[in-house]
């Protein structure tokens, strides 16, 4: 059975839209420093491979209802720098947007973090999908998908050239001879493309890891190609084990066709586990989270203009194929009502039942809210005990569907700690996760070798070509 990579995607006010409303939840981002510190301590004690920090380059009232964790959050590079000083083994992955970042500045910051953390930094490269980000960065419009990926391709090339500006032994520091630097081992970037032009060299020594592990997520064909060619970790949102296995095979095939060793591409699936002392307890937590999600009909005078359009009974009507006019979100789904549902409606009722324990015709039946939230709040959830969740993870490992999981927590800190202190020991007992760190760098945690310097590789290629 394969060894899983397990990281935590940190969202301090919870990764579920109603997570911040759950009793005992952290809900004020002004107190994020304490939550980040506590999360890092628990995660490192559990031997998680990394903490992952996403990003979003805008904010607005609409995010309050859609994704509250995006309203206000710590800058990812600041977060990992802060945690680098409070931890000693766990990897720390920050996100940067290639559409709006300057490659020299980012290379300098990330190389510095890697050196200061002893080789534990990683970088998630995104191209962006938030139109408001353009205005925030002095641009009239967000670039097209193709243009964004043209820039991302060049950005990745420039980052590696900048990180490799110094050879590992370029700093001689021979005090007796008075020689500090071997100039033959300092390389200019000299990149001039359609999107970027960078001369270099970088004024930071080569990172401990050589190159920081790169992460990428996306669903378009161009994004998958970028991940296959350039990323060490490909984040893929999947609905089941079969889709995951097929997508992993597709990405690895693309990686092989691009000329790289496809085994070096690790496919990671985001997952949101709800952990309880019993399955019924976990379902009760999921049920309360569902009930706390607002829908359009909760607003007496109508929802705010920025409220998610699809989170309404009118939209649910189109999904289940039954007119629900005049019914409120807390209307019970009876067997008579469910009998007229479309196949999708039947599936929504089944998923809601699996997650919350509410079954049509049962003692505690679901409401229309349960079906609507199931349909419109997109999260790959596993609900159960620590043992049940660990068994599900192990099944995915056994089927080689993924190389690991990016774990989200619906409620901070309770659900994160339930996973780290409950599920992780079960994964260790099953033999799919180590009981101790097996290396000191993030690349070693991920089973990746330290790459050769691209400037030396280019020189060697030229020599062979003569």
Question: Which residues sit in the known binding site for FMN?
Answer: 55, 95, 149, 220
Q: Residue with structure tokens 């189109």? A: 318
The span from the first CA to the last CA of the chain, in angstroms, equals 46
Which structure tokens are listed for 177? 């001879």
Evaluate the CA torsion angle 156, 161, 167, 170 in order and state its sign.
Answer: negative
Q: How many CB atoms lie within 10 A of CB 202?
A: 24
What's the rounded Cα separation, in Å, for the pair 235 and 34?
Answer: 28
213: which DSSP letter? P
* Element of type H or E holding 320: helix 313-320
* Length in residues, the chain: 466
**To 10 degrees, the CA torsion angle through 106, 112, 117, 118?**
120
Q: β-strands 171-174, 121-126: how paired? A: unpaired
Do β-strands 197-198 and 191-192 pair in parallel, antiparallel, or remain unpaired? Answer: antiparallel
CA distances from residue 420 to 34, 85, 150, 275, 438 in whole angstroms, order as listed: 18, 21, 39, 10, 18
What number of H helices and E strands is found in the chain?
18, 13
Residue 108 CB coordination number (10 Å): 16
DSSP 378-391: ---EEEE-HHHHHH
C-alpha distances in Å from residue 162, one per residue of 199, 212, 459? 9, 12, 16
Retrieve residue 60's tokens: 């607005």
309: tokens are 């359009």
Residue with tokens 């019970």: 332
Give, as one character, the DSSP assignment of residue 143: P
Answer yes or no: are the C-beta atoms of 17 and 61 closer than 8 Å. Answer: no
């Amino acid at each position: 059975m394969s060894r899983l990579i397990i990281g935590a995607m940190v969202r301090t006010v919870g990764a579920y839209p109603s997570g911040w409303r759950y009793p005992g939840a952290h809900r004020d981002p002004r107190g994020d420093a304490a939550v980040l510190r506590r999360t890092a301590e628990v995660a490192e004690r559990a031997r998680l491979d990394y903490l992952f920090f996403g990003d979003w380059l805008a904010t607005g009232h609409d995010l309050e209802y859609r994704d509250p964790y995006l309203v206000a959050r710590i800058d990812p590079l600041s977060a990992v720098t802060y945690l680098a000083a409070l931890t000693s083994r766990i990897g720390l992955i920050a996100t940067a947007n290639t559409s709006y970042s300057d490659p020299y500045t980012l290379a300098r910051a990330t190389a510095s973090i890697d050196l200061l953390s002893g080789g534990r930094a990683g970088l998630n490269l995104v191209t962006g999908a938030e139109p408001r980000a353009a205005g925030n960065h002095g641009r009239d419009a967000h670039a097209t998908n193709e243009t964004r990926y043209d820039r991302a391709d060049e950005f990745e090339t420039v980052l590696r050239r900048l990180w490799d500006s110094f050879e590992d032994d370029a700093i001689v520091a021979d005090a007796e001879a008075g020689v500090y630097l071997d100039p033959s081992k300092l390389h200019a970037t000299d990149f001039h493309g359609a999107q970027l032009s960078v001369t270099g060299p970088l004024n930071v020594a080569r990172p401990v890891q050589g190159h920081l592990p790169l992460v990428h997520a996306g669903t378009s064909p161009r994004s998958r190609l970028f991940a296959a060619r350039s990323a060490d970790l490909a984040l893929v949102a999947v609905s089941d084990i079969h889709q995951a296995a097929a997508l992993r095979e597709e990405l690895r095939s693309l990686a092989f066709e691009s000329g790289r060793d496809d085994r070096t591409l690790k496919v990671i699936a985001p997952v949101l586990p709800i952990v309880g002392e019993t399955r019924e307890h976990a379902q009760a937590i999921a049920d309360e989270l569902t009930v706390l999600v607002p829908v359009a009909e909760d607003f007496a005078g109508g929802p705010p203009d920025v409220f998610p359009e699809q989170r309404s009974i009118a939209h649910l009507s189109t999904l289940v194929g039954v007119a629900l006019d005049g019914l409120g979100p807390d209307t019970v789904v009876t067997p008579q009502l469910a009998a007229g549902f479309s196949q999708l409606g039947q599936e929504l009722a089944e998923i809601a039942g699996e997650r919350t324990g509410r079954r049509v015709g049962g003692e505690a039946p679901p409401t229309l809210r349960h079906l609507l939230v199931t349909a419109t709040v997109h999260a790959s959830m596993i609900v159960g005990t620590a043992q049940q969740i660990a068994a599900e993870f192990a099944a995915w490992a056994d089927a080689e569907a993924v190389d690991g999981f990016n774990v989200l927590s619906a409620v901070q800190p309770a659900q994160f700690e339930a996973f780290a202190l409950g599920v992780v020991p079960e994964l260790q007992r099953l033999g799919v996760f180590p009981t101790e760190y097996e290396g000191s760098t993030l690349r070693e945690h991920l089973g990746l070798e330290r790459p050769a310097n691209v400037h030396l590789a280019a020189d060697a290629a030229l020599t062979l070509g003569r």
